[in-house]
Structure 1
């Protein structure tokens, strides 16, 4: 199923004419390869038409965009005049929003803007905005970017400190995408919407079941660690704080790392995602540049209790117990190591920190202006109120009971995880078929994508020429009306 394809440009600048090459790229006849920068305005300056100050428009913070589903909630409204001077991202109906910051990018917070009040919206500064020039359907582009493989490929190109890494605009502009004829894009989107609706029905059922299991686990923890403030504690117990049972808290440091994971023989700093999923993920790290001095006191060891100091609101303060781990992994400035006092059970402390009661205290106390990241201080960690058993043996017994009961629930969770993996594989297969030309039939009467791209290049070239001509036109003096008088330097 091969054919002649057109490869257009390598970024957002220029008209791309000098970079057109043809060759057998394994694409169906009529398809082309182009960059997003060729096909879209990336982060356009604003709206095509500025709203009036009294106009109501949609407000879409990061939390209003669902992960991996391509859905958003545009129901929150603001008066434009109250917000137009704030540093918010402007977008309009049919623009594609791409979360650029970790972990939102990796989680798949990518969506086409729809049903915006007044056709316009304000959102997080952590969104890239992609506005199609007509060669790509926004729905097609959204489905393409939602592929896990696309997001995975973007990770090594993220820049910035650990925990605040972002996909650069230039990377997104240079990202290549297969472009079918416009008519075929419509057929692909229609078929994807039809098939993915069935997939999402299954995903919803699995999510409801998983939520019930999570609630059951929360109830098991709550009952055993006695986190109901309205109930009397057993004899020998007392109310205290997390700080009462800690010897110390250790915070890591961070600096610019290499855009890849550390090899076995080199130092690495863990990312926020290493502590996000209820288990420690050692592979979620960034390599420390060779020759950079590190403090071995921050090395992570098996048995450590780590807590996420900065994360999304759902995961800030989430604890993990480090299992067997290779050496040379360091705490970051977004992670805390909690060292319990002697005769305080690590396993019990982990269950207490994992309880909904403590997690809610941390979430409620989290601060931060970014809607993609919240922070808690060491003081907040220490001040969380907890019930403390009277003896180490009682703590160990509680942890053992919780562990055994959660293990029984884990059998059901494993079955759900297996089904969820099958659903993910089905979604991946559908998207792969869509973007390799096997999901729908090709129609030889469709206008080839190369012709469409030629028109886009011609339009951009003409627009660029018009702007250049305007810049070269001498300005007219207000006092004399003579051309050339009072001309400003360019």
Structure 2
């Protein structure tokens, strides 16, 4: 089916400021954030087709100075920065007054356009392929405001837009149900793993010892204003490299400093070091820790991470890692988290006060061995879940392509898609 193609910019409402990005620089800085008040829509709120409710706030007085960046329910929100471009969602109702932040584009659409149609159009494979040849930037792909204005959108009549959206959402609801089932299975699996690890830690029955007493050193990482993507100096971890029990080494930068220089500053990592996340917008990741192994050493770490080097004559690093990510150790960390300017943090001094039960080394090793078997089993199951989710994403792309080619008719006429979705759910 052949529909006219128009640009996203042409679909904006016919008034000044219908397309705008957020304030830059000192107009919206860390000191402006508050614990409550009008919302700030950031990149992390813009999911691929859905709004992610991860709140940040400013006060009403500052909000009034930034009204030209205001966003209301039904506005299209487009991320200009990220691996998936264009990434967009619709602003939901009920969030109250809000503005967009830098790198978030707000588009207020014409009355004769269904916002849902435009939102789905930005998710279709043809649009993603179009954007691939126009995004720029090394390491942080960007599609600027000019490029976003030029995104091509197929435009049937408003009646047909609404009709095809209804059919499309009928099909996507099956996919969404299948994906929700898979994600719930993942959540249940993680809950069972956590419960089993908690049980193993409880039965270990060790003497209570403060983490600071076990540590030979507790040290923040180095400050690098802009780590390089070019291989200059010792590799440095990204701020988000640490997750509970997992260290992501797939996206390294380079510090620009040599190994001897970093060694003199006690900034190199050793096998068995524990790395804790010091700051993050998500409290679940703050205080999360992982153990450094021998991969890619020498390696250094940024100042948003904390290195704890335990005395391995008294404690096995993996055991300490489990004891701080789960059970009473994690609850103590949660109680010490502090929020400032939308960021949650914990200090090295606070980590030192966390007490964990430390049994004899042979009992620790037994716990480590059992936990590793549990984690290996989880990894195998997770691989199967991820393959099913990947297949469902392939189906989603196929459905979107069909919708924007005018080929989706109704549920009964597309039984093959439904059967494929049902297969994913099983």
* TM-score, structure 2 as length reference: 0.70
- Cα separation, partners in 2 of 1:110 and 1:133, compared to 1, 3 Å: closer
1:352 aligns with 2:317: no
> In the TM superposition, what is the alpha-carbon distance from 1:35 to its structure 2 partner?
6.3
Give the corresponding residue for 2:106: 130
Residue 320 of structure 1 contacts residue 350 of structure 1 at CA under 8 Å; is this kept in 2? yes
Aligned to 1:320, what secondary structure does the other structure show?
Answer: strand
Instruction: Report SS of the residue matched to 1:198.
Output: helix
1:253 aligned onto 2:226: no
Residue aligning to 2:338: 367
Aligned residue pairs total 376
Question: How far does the alpha carbon of each residue in 1:18-52 deviate from its partner, in whole angstroms, 9 at most, with x for none?
Answer: xxxxxxxxxx663245669988512379xxxxxxx
1:41 and 2:10 aligned: no
Contact preservation (8 Å) 2:273, 2:292: yes
- Alignment of 1:383 onto 2:353: yes
Change in CA separation of 1:410 and 1:319 when aligned onto 2, cut-off 3 Å: same
Give the C-alpha shift of residue 366 in structure 1: 2.4
Give distance in 1, aligned partners of 2:323 and 2:85.
27
Moved more, 356-365 or 81-90: 81-90
**The structure with more radius of gyration:** 1
Of 295, 309, 332, the match for 2:262: 295
Map 1:41-440 to 2 at 5 A.
41-43=19-21, 67-68=47-48, 70-71=50-51, 84=63, 90-97=70-77, 111-116=89-94, 120-122=96-98, 125=101, 128-134=104-110, 137-143=114-120, 156=137, 171-175=144-148, 176-183=150-157, 186=162, 189-226=165-202, 234=205, 237-257=206-226, 261-263=229-231, 267-276=234-243, 278-288=245-255, 295=262, 297-300=266-269, 302-311=271-280, 312-327=282-297, 329-343=299-313, 344-371=315-342, 373-389=343-359, 391-431=360-400, 437-438=404-405, 440=407
Unaligned 5+ residue runs, structure 2?
24-36, 409-426
Cα shift at 1:246: 1.3
Task: Check whether the contact 2:21–2:101 (CA below 8 A) recurs between aligned residues.
Answer: no
Q: Would you tell me which structure has more helix in proportion to its own residues?
A: 2
What is the deviation of 1:369?
3.0
Residue number in structure 2 paired with 1:31: 5
Change (3 A) 1:191 1:406: same
Give 1:284 deviation, angstroms.
Answer: 1.9
SS in 2 for 1:218: helix
Task: Report deviation, 1:280.
Answer: 1.9
Structure 1: distance between partners of 2:358 and 2:309: 16
CA RMSD of aligned residues (A): 4.6
CA contact (8 A) 1:30 1:181 kept: yes
CA shift, 1:346, in A, is 1.4
TM-score (norm 1): 0.62
Structure 1 residues 142, 125: closer, same or farther in 2, change over 3 A? Answer: same
Per-residue deviation, 1:305: 2.5
CA contact (8 A) 1:62 1:123 kept: no
Unaligned 5+ segments in structure 1 are: 2-27, 46-56, 160-166, 228-232, 442-490
TM superposition shift of 1:303 = 4.2
1:289 is displaced (CA, Å) by: 6.4
TM superposition shift of 1:250:
2.8
Assess, with a 3 A threshold, how the Cα gap between structure 1 residues 257 and 418 changes in structure 2: closer, same or farther.
same
Q: 1:314 to 1:262 in 2, by over 3 A?
A: farther
